[in-house]
Amino acid sequence: MQTLSYQGIKITPKKQTSINDALVVEAPLQININNKAYTVVMRTPDNDIELLRGLLFAEDIYKNFLNFDTEIIEKENGIPLIINVSIPKVNLGKGYLNKRTLLSVSSCGICGKQELKDLKVEGAKLIKIPIFSSEVIHKMFAKMNSFQETFKVSGGSHAAAIFDIKQKLLTIKEDIGRHNAVDKAVGDLLIKRTLKEANFLLVSGRVSYEIVTKAFIAKIPIIVAVSACSSLAVDFAKEFGICLIGFTREHKMTIYSNPTFIKNLENV
C-alpha cells in the first residue's frame, strides 16, 4: 500500500470542488537488530526487506553479501511497524558499533530515532488560526519566489519562507534539503526573537511528517506547499490543529486540514 485516499477541497479560479486525493503513504518503521531497538526510519511501505538490506549495507552495519534473517514483530493495518534483523555479532560492522543518525529514506529528519514512542510530539493543539483569504497565499508565494536567488542560479535548492499574520515576509532561507531550509528559517526568527510573529510557513517542495512537526513546535499554524503532502503529514496536521495546503500553483491549491479558516470558501 503506497497511497491512501484523503478528502480535500480543490480551488481553481472559477470553482471549488470536493475531491478524493491519492496521497503517498509515509509511515514509521522501527528497525531492531538482534532484538534491540536500533533506529526508526520514515518510508513508504512495500519492499521493506530491500530497504533494510540496502540501508544496513550503505551504513556499514552489515556488508556481508549473505542475506540475514528478518521477523516482523508488529503490524498495523497490515503495514509492518517493527522488524527485527538477526545478524551474528561478528558480522556487525563499524556503522553499528559507532551509531549515528542513519540516512533518511523519505528525506525526513526524524529518521534515527530509536523507538516508535520517540515520535510522539508533546504540546497543546494550535487553536488560534486566523481567518484568511486564499488569494493571499498566491501573493506570498510570488514574493517567496522573487527572493529565491540560489534557485534562480542553480535550479537545485529548496526554500522556506515565513510570513506574519498580515502576510509580511519575516524570513526566507534556501538549502538543498527541504527540512534544512525550514530549520534555517525558524532559527533566523529565533535569533531575531520574532518567532512569535510567525503565522504562515511556505515551502517549495512537498510536506512530510517532520515539516508539520517543525511548524507545530514553532507554533506556526498554517503550512502551504507547492507540491504534495504525505498521508502522515495530513494526519498530524489535523491532530495538531494546523491548516495544511498543498499543490499551490497556477492559481490552484488543495486544502487538507482546517479549511474553515479560509474565509472565501463556500460549502462544497
Residues tagged in the binding site annotation: 247-252
How would you classify the pairing of strands 222-225 and 200-203?
parallel
Residue 64 has what DSSP assignment? -
Q: Rounded to whole angstroms, how far apart are CA atoms 28 and 81?
A: 7
**Is 108 one of the catalytic residues?**
yes
Q: What is the DSSP string of 142-167?
A: HHHHHT-HHHHHHS--EEEEEE-TT-
What is the β-pairing status of strands 16-24 and 243-249? unpaired
121: which residues sit within 8 A by CB, 6+ positions away? 213, 216, 217, 236, 240
For 48, how many CA atoms within 13 A lie in the half-sphere containing its CB?
27
Grid coordinates given for 141: 508565494
Count of helices and strands (H, E) across the chain: 7, 12
Are the C-beta atoms of 243 and 223 separated by less than 8 Å?
yes
Cβ–Cβ < 8 Å for 230, 209? yes
| CA–CA distance, 33 with 12 (Å, rounded to integer) | 50
Catalytic one among 108, 111, 229, 243? 108
Helix 231-240 to helix 209-217 angle, to the nearest 10 degrees? 20
Residues recognised as catalytic: 108
